[in-house]
Amino acid sequence: MSDWLIPLAITVASVCTVLLVWRRLHPASFWLIVGYPLKTLHVYVTWGNVALGCTLTRKRRRWRYTLDGLPIVGQATIALSQRRKVRRVQIDKPPRLGIVRPCRLGFRINVKLMDGQTPEDYSARLSNLAHAWRVHSVRLISSRPGRVTLLATRGDPLSEVRILVLSEGLLRVRVGLLETGAPWVVDFRTVPHWLNTGATQSGKSTLLNALITGLSAQPVALVGFDLKGGVELTAYGPRLSAIATERTECVGLLNDLICLVKTRMALCRANKTRNIWKLPEDLRPTPVVVLVDEVAELFLMAHKGEKDEIASTATALLRLAQLGRAFGLYLFVCGQRVGSDLGPGVTALRSQLSGRVCHRVNDPETATMTLGDTDPAALDAARQIPANMPGTAVVVADDGRWYRARSVYVSEEIAEAAAHANAELTPAWADLLTGTDTVTVTDADLEALAREGEPT
Ligand SMILES: Nc1ncnc2c1ncn2[C@@H]1O[C@H](COP(=O)(O)OP(=O)(O)OP(=O)(O)O)[C@@H](O)[C@H]1O
Ligand SMILES: [Mg+2]
């Protein structure tokens, strides 16, 4: 017996070693040739039970060759003595699966919705499916009437993000990776204002660095509000058209920005357009991206004397958020804590910032303020971001869905180098403000337009 046992053991050991080495040295080809066929088999063979366990099946009556009453457990003993015959019985029918298609991260599969099912039924079962299919995660990546597409990922694509920050057209920057493997793009033309929250050391400023690196090569003006004494943004000074680091400077700069909105509004009125993007190119003013690091500092009152300043700051920020899109002003607001305790101004501002990025948070209120109006699963995902993965966030993307994402690590030095290299693209603040002193648009006009709703 040992004559054939030893060669067999050696063969099995060699095959296992080859497979392990192959998997380690070239995981992509190993997945395609070995892992993917096995996984496909596993998915199809277990689908009936998995769908039943996830309550995704529907009852159907079908012809089956069975013993009498076999589907009903209590009668099974009686049924065993009876003859087998073809009869109509009730079965649990799973949704129809499409072809399991391999991709770099794992596999995609289409599932046909059964009567009465919606994509939300599948969104609620994604973690059950991930466990059943023995994969890292399953996400619903798209849906068409009657069909959903699921993406199963074998590992966490966010464990290491090694892509370049890329400027992808005017006001578009690729800042990282979504968990689906797609690029994470901050596009101010589609989503004009963003709220970026997270606890300390969660990666807010690193995302800001990526954004500054991408935007600094574009024909846009950057304006900074940094009430942490300027420690975060001062280094990017050569590429910033204006920066405010004290409360009084903030009030002044916000007034300037409101004047800018008024001037642009007057320009649009004179040319009978509703926003700057419909103006002829030679008349179109430079877009301005306003970066705010630590928004809470703008709303926190050290003493009662600051009450009026805070009120005017809150009103001005809200006006910018309401009217900015039409007049080429975009907000990217970062904060550790964004809660209603900072005042009603914060809640009103938040509702205007439709782009949401929630890094790891310490208090549930900030997560709720950032993602509360999206799927509750997004809140759970944000609470589960581990501290050892800074830069990871839950993002509400252009398609309205939420995704886990991670920014590219862009150090301050890299962002600073980009700011210096593109310093000549910085529009002078005085040039941007040209014409603001003679503008005929009043505060009442702005208010009326804000009430009317944002021009499109
Ligand atoms: N995308 C990322 N990939 C890898 N490491 C990251 C990433 N983002 C942040 N980090 C690490 O986390 C550290 C803290 O990040 P960052 O300064 O952006 O946090 P923060 O949220 O701005 O903190 P604070 O609120 O204290 O300013 C960085 O120095 C870096 O080491
Ligand atoms: Mg920071």
* Residue 205, ligand 1, Cβ within 6 A: yes
Q: Is 246 helix (H, G, I), strand (E, B) or coil?
A: coil
- Considering the domain architecture, whether residues 173 and 113 belong to the same structural domain is answered as no
Averaged over 286-299, what is the pLDDT? 90
User: What pLDDT is stored for residue 69 in this prediction?
Assistant: 53
Which residues, 6 or more positions from 448, have their beta carbon under 8 angstroms from its beta carbon? Answer: none
User: What pLDDT is stored for residue 77 in this prediction?
Assistant: 52
Residue 454: pLDDT over 60: no
Q: Which protein residue's CA is at the shortest distance from atom 3 of ligand 1?
A: 409
| Whole-number Cα distances in Å, 40 to 54, 57, 103, 246 | 19, 20, 12, 60
Residue 294: pLDDT over 90: no
Report yes or no on 67 lying in a domain: no
Give me the chain's average pLDDT, please. Answer: 87
Report yes or no on 88 lying in a domain: no
Taking a C-beta distance cutoff of 8 angstroms, is the pair 192, 325 a contact? Answer: yes
Q: Which protein residue's CA is at the shortest distance from atom 24 of ligand 1?
A: 200
* Residue 196, ligand 1, Cβ within 6 A: no
> Roughly what angle, to the nearest 10 degrees, separates helices 376-383 and 364-371?
140
- Considering the domain architecture, whether residues 281 and 403 belong to the same structural domain is answered as yes
User: What pLDDT is stored for residue 46 in this prediction?
Assistant: 96
- Considering the domain architecture, whether residues 229 and 304 belong to the same structural domain is answered as yes
The per-residue pLDDT for range 149-202, each reduced to its tens digit, is 999 999 888 988 888 877 888 999 999 999 888 899 999 999 999 999 999 999
Q: Which protein residue's CA is at the shortest distance from atom 1 of ligand 1?
A: 391
Q: How far is the CA of 159 from the centre of ligand 1 (A)?
A: 15
Q: How confident is the model at residue 80 (pLDDT cuts 50, 70, 90)?
A: low
What is the C-alpha to C-alpha distance for residues 200 and 337, in angstroms, rounded to an integer? 10
Binding-site residue set for ATP? 198-205
What's the CATH code of the domain at 176?
A: 3.40.50.300
Q: How far is the CA of 207 from the centre of ligand 1 (A)?
A: 8
Averaged over 437-446, what is the pLDDT? 69
Residue 78: pLDDT over 70: no
> And the tokens for 44?
């199809």
Report yes or no on 62 lying in a domain: no
Averaged over 407-416, what is the pLDDT? 94
The per-residue pLDDT for range 106-116, each reduced to its tens digit, is 999 999 999 89
Structural domain containing residue 326:
166-452
Q: Which protein residue's CA is at the shortest distance from atom 31 of ligand 1?
A: 390
Residue 81: pLDDT over 90: no
Averaged over 277-304, what is the pLDDT? 87
Q: Which protein residue's CA is at the shortest distance from atom 26 of ligand 1?
A: 200
* Residue 241, ligand 1, Cβ within 6 A: no
Report yes or no on 86 lying in a domain: no
Give me the number of domains the chain comprises: 2
Report yes or no on 142 lying in a domain: no
The per-residue pLDDT for range 314-346, each reduced to its tens digit, is 888 998 999 888 899 999 999 988 877 787 788
What is the C-alpha to C-alpha distance for residues 62 and 352, in angstroms, rounded to an integer? 54
User: What pLDDT is stored for residue 85 in this prediction?
Assistant: 79
First vs last C-alpha separation in the chain: 83
Q: How confident is the model at residue 55 (pLDDT cuts 50, 70, 90)?
A: very high
Binding-site residue set? 198-205
* Residue 350, ligand 1, Cβ within 6 A: no
Residue 424: pLDDT over 90: yes
User: What pLDDT is stored for residue 453 in this prediction?
Assistant: 61
| Whole-number Cα distances in Å, 223 to 197, 239, 330 | 19, 9, 10
- Considering the domain architecture, whether residues 99 and 176 belong to the same structural domain is answered as no
Report yes or no on 100 lying in a domain: yes
Q: How far is the CA of 204 from the centre of ligand 2 (A)?
A: 5
- Considering the domain architecture, whether residues 244 and 350 belong to the same structural domain is answered as yes
201, 385, 407, 409, best to mutate for ligand 1 pocket (most atoms within 8 Å of CB) = 201
Report yes or no on 137 lying in a domain: no
Taking a C-beta distance cutoff of 8 angstroms, is the pair 214, 174 a contact? Answer: yes
* Residue 206, ligand 1, Cβ within 6 A: yes
Report yes or no on 373 lying in a domain: yes
Residue 400: pLDDT over 60: yes
